[in-house]
């Protein structure tokens, strides 16, 4: 069983819409959760991190964490064509601090 699961997509949304990206994880002891954006041919870039249950907002981005359901999501409001990229969910194990990445979800925002 893959430790971090993401829908590979592609997820296609119109410009201005809300994009919702989802991630589930298997290690119940995980404590830290990260979202990275990766443009084609580039390296991953940190967007947000969240440690506690609930929502965390930063500009147009909102990360949501539900540890009971082992679920973390990223919402992008007012999506722009420049948001088109692969979004990687990463989960840090609680005991070994190992950061495990999902395969990523490809998001396309159509003008």
Q: Which of 58, 78, 98, 110 binds other proteins (CB under 8 A)?
A: 98
**C-alpha distances in angstroms, 76 versus 30, 37, 57, 91?**
24, 12, 10, 19
Q: Which of 14, 15, 16, 46 binds other proteins (CB under 8 A)?
A: 46
| Only segment of 13-21, 58-66, 76-84, 88-96 that touches other proteins (CB under 8 A) | 88-96
CB 106, CB 92: distance < 8 Å: no
Q: Which of 69, 82, 95, 96 binds other proteins (CB under 8 A)?
A: 96
d(CA 34, CA 50): 6
CB of 81 to other proteins, least distance (A): 22
């Amino acid at each position: 069983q893959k430790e971090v699961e993401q829908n590979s997509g592609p997820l296609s949304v119109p410009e201005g819409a809300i994009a919702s990206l989802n991630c589930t994880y298997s290690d119940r002891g995980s404590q830290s959760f990260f979202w990275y954006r990766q443009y084609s041919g580039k390296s991953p870039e940190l967007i947000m991190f969240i440690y506690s249950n609930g929502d965390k907002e930063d500009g147009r981005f909102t990360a949501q964490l539900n540890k009971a359901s082992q679920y973390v999501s990223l919402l992008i409001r007012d999506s722009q064509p420049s948001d088109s990229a692969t979004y990687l969910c990463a989960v840090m194990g609680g005991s070994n601090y190992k950061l495990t990445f999902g395969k990523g979800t490809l998001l396309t925002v159509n003008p």
